[in-house]
Amino acid sequence: MPVLKVKEAKSTIVKPGVTRRLVHAEKLMLVVIDFDNGPWSEPEPAHFHVHEQTTYVAEGEFIFFCEGEPDQILSAGDMFWVLPNKKHTVQLLSKTVKLIDSFSPIREEFLQ
């Protein structure tokens, strides 16, 4: 079925204050990440992956850090993308942040 209703979606606790819900096809994944543990005094450790990533900021405000790019303060309605293998991270400025991420190919590790 190509529909996933929010009350039926499995929510994964990534760590305290961070939850993730997702839907995927064979080559594309959409991930909703909810943060409710902000603001943070410093950014999360940077990470990278082989996937292309696009992100829509649905709620909140944060600093976006991406290797080789100037730091940016982003808020609801803003978008960004990350090329494969680029280090990136965020630092929450508001109590809550909701991000809508798309990945290609899908992040198999999120399915476990």
Say if residue 112's pLDDT is above 90: no
DSSP classification of residue 106:
-
The whole-angstrom separation of Cα 30 and Cα 53 is 10
Token readout for 3 is 């529909």
What was the pLDDT predicted at 1? 57
Find the farthest-apart pair of alpha carbons in the chain and give their distance in angstroms, rounded: 42
Fold for the domain defined by 11-100: Jelly Rolls (2.60.120)
Q: What is the pLDDT of residues 22-62, one digit of tens each?
A: 999 999 999 999 999 999 999 999 999 999 999 999 999 99
Residue 38 or 7, more confident: 38
Instruction: Measure the CA–CA gap between 92 and 53, rounded to whole angstroms.
Output: 19
- Of 73, 77, 29, 72, nearest in space to 53 by CA: 29
Q: Give the pLDDT confidence score for residue 65 in this predicted structure.
A: 98
